[in-house]
Amino acid sequence: MTTRRQFIEKASLSTMAVTLPFASTFSSSVRKQEDKVLRVAIMGLGSYGTRVAEAMKDCKRAKLVGVISGTPSKIEAWKEKYGIPAKNCYNYENYHQIKDNPDIDAVYVITPNSLHKPHSIGVARAGKHVICEKPMALNAEEGREMIQACQEAGVHLLVGYRMHFETKTLEVIRRQRAGEFGKTLFFQGLSGFMIGDPKQWRLNRALAGGGAMMDIGIYSINGARYMLGEEPIWVTAQEVKTDPVKFKQGVDETITFQMGFPSGAVASCLSTYSMNNLDKFFLNGTKGFAEMQPSTGYGPIQARTNQGPIEAEHITHQTTQMDEMAAIILDGKSPVVPVDGEEGLRDLVIVDAIYEAVRTGARISLI
């Protein structure tokens, strides 16, 4: 006769026999998922490409495995420095051949702004995920073409918004969303520096698509959106140019611009290539404020609120960015603030409106 205790013991052993292999398989699958590494090629081996490559040395989920460059000497130097195999090295004429290279998952496009669209679309058509430096394109029309191309190719399109993963920035965003500052009514964004070499591509309209706004001003546009948690409904803007020789037609030196939001909040921002000591965000609400200075530099970021300083360990932004982007692509992770093509497009729509406001002197509606 089977006692109740014997029945329970047998049932327990039977259950273990069924569940333990499953638990082991589940644990193994989770571990394998976390062990996946995004294999990245960098396209454009200039100063920022080098910064990303150095930061990726400390990544856990992303690895530099390839390069694309128009300069043979740079390719040779990177091969040696980063241990990149020759089969993963391409130039701007043959990079489409990455389609046949299973060792590359994604390409980080860090070429001049005017090349973002053709290079990103070329990468997408080769079947590789696209990470594109900001601004995503020269204008909203180009941005839409990039989004469509990546959708058709079935690949991710991510934009290099490193601040969307920065710890202190995310803490300010958390507090704003939690209502700790009350109703947020005002944002100030100051973005600029004194630019050097007048012959660099950033001062070439054909390559940059503009001037300071396309390089540094976009930080204030993007910052206003994530700090206020809203999308603007109108913009106004004014341009000031003190050096028309250095800043030729179509290359903006300084633009001040304003944005209005559905809640009634307003943003007042400055984009310039003629002043240092800026890089400041200020958010004001009915119950408190947040101030960040520096707010978007390579770090460490300094942040404080009406309750005091925000403390957090500084981690190289590009290291965190690439690990988080790997999690988005490999695991389907959803970031607190988006970094996809649609996010890049929203900024481009505003940039287009700012330039239109400068040209016409009118208030430009965004709805």
Cite the active site residues: 134, 219
Tell me which residue has tokens 């403390």: 311
244-248 long-range contacts, Cβ below 8 Å, gap at least 24?
Answer: 246/198, 246/203, 247/203, 247/211, 247/273, 248/203, 248/205
Other residues' Cβ atoms within 10 Å of the Cβ of residue 51: 15
The alpha carbon of 46 is separated from its chain's Cα centroid by a whole number of angstroms, namely 18
Vertex 120, ends 114 and 125: CA angle to 5°?
140
